[in-house]
Structure 1
Amino acid sequence: MPEPARVWPPQWNPSVSDVFSSIDADIAGLAKGWSGMAVEVTTESIRHDLREELARILYCDVDEISDDDSFVELGLDSVLGLEFLVVLNSRLSLTENIDVVYDHPTLARLTDHVWGVLSARAIDA
């Protein structure tokens, strides 16, 4: 599978602040759809949402991402990983750091981790 890459317009050489501004705009739009909604969270809904976010960030089809594909092999570099993490934290009200993407480097493992965090939070509530 070819490595996905972001394609910037040739006339635009983005700075780090430009990239993060773009990420912030994406996240604001995504978070807006989730705010105030009561949603039943299951491992399948987590896996589905994570797969869709990965596909959006990597500019690929959701069918190209299997549960056991390594994020790195899929093309998730440190900048895209941070974008993915920010969306994950925003959508599920988490406070994970970037290490979670590397400590749980597949969709299956990250889903299990997120489910565990959310389950522990529900028990503590």
Structure 2
Amino acid sequence: MPSTPSVEPTAKGVILRAEPGRVVFHPRETNYELDLVATGAFEAGQHVGGVIRCDARKVYTVPSGGNFIQPVLGTPRIVQGRVVTLTEQTITVRAGNAFFVVTLPTGKDTIDLHVGNIAAGSLVNVVALPGASFEAA
């Protein structure tokens, strides 16, 4: 898999709720309320830019379907969007007006290249493991 420059675009938005170790992040210009592990101190109402990270259980290349995060409220389980950057171990996906740095799975049959190889600009569907996190940029 060829690499692109390692740039981590930031997700911009508001912290709706903050408690030790957890935040509810509302990406700008969306209805999403993402329940994430916090890797830093945040306050409710704080406008922030940061990086959302998750580990993939499975990754699919897909022909169509748009950019979205499921569920709209809660911990992200499915992230679908365009690949912005990639390395051997990660892809950065723009989904639902937020960016996710996704650690690729390593097991057998965990990456389905039905529509071709993963490349910058390709549309992917990521089934995420629990524990997506948010860190300030």
- Both structures adopt the same fold (TM-score exceeding 0.5): no
TM-score (norm: length of structure 1): 0.28
User: Which structure has the greater CA radius of gyration?
Assistant: 1
Q: TM-score, normalised by structure 2?
A: 0.26
